[in-house]
């Protein structure tokens, strides 16, 4: 377990984190500090607790929006997968139908060739 100091709303806090997560925790604290400073610039001095709560609510709002976007994208991805499977099934059916049609045409050509060969072979010899 690692410990680092972060500054949030002008105050230092000693925080614990997993080894290797120090930079991420610092980045998170900087992001929160930036939000608090932005709110302070927008609303003035309205109290530390209120600024912190407003910043937390802003983060939660963004998180809920992001979660909804993720759900929407997951639904879209599932729909696209279903469409892809249906298209692959149709392509396979079409391929089978084309192969059957070609085989049928080849059989008819073969039979026609055999009939023509018998007709020509059974005809009158010239000479």
Helix (H), strand (E), coil (C) string for 10-22: CEEEEEEECCCCH
Q: Check the CA dihedral 95-96-100-106 and report its sign.
A: positive
Nearest-angstrom CA–CA distance, 37 and 46: 12
* 72-102 pLDDT tens trace: 999 999 999 999 999 999 999 999 999 999 9
pLDDT in tens, 27-60: 999 999 999 999 999 988 888 899 999 999 999 9
Query: How does DSSP classify residue 3?
Result: E
CA pair distance 6, 1, nearest whole angstrom: 16
Number of Cβ within 10 Å of residue 58's Cβ equals 15
**Percentages of the chain per state (helix, strand, coil), in multiples of 5:** 75, 10, 15
E-assigned strands of 1-127? 2-8, 11-17
Contact status, residue 27 vs residue 7, Cβ threshold 8 Å = no
What's the pLDDT score for residue 122? Answer: 61
Q: Residue 10 burial by CB count (10 A; 0-12/13-18/19+): exposed, middle or buried?
A: exposed
pTM over the 0.75 mark? no
């Amino acid at each position: 377990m690692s410990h680092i100091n972060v500054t949030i709303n002008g105050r230092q806090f000693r925080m614990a984190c997993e080894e290797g997560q120090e930079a991420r925790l610092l980045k998170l604290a900087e992001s929160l500090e930036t939000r608090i400073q932005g709110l302070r610039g927008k609303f003035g001095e309205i109290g530390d607790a209120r600024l912190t709560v407003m910043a937390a609510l802003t983060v939660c709002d963004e998180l809920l929006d992001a979660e909804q976007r993720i759900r929407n994208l997951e639904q879209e991805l599932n729909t696209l997968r279903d469409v892809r499977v249906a298209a692959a099934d149709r392509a396979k059916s079409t391929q089978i139908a084309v192969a059957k049609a070609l085989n049928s045409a080849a059989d008819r050509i073969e039979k026609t060739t055999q009939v023509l060969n018998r007709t020509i072979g059974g005809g009158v010899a010239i000479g």
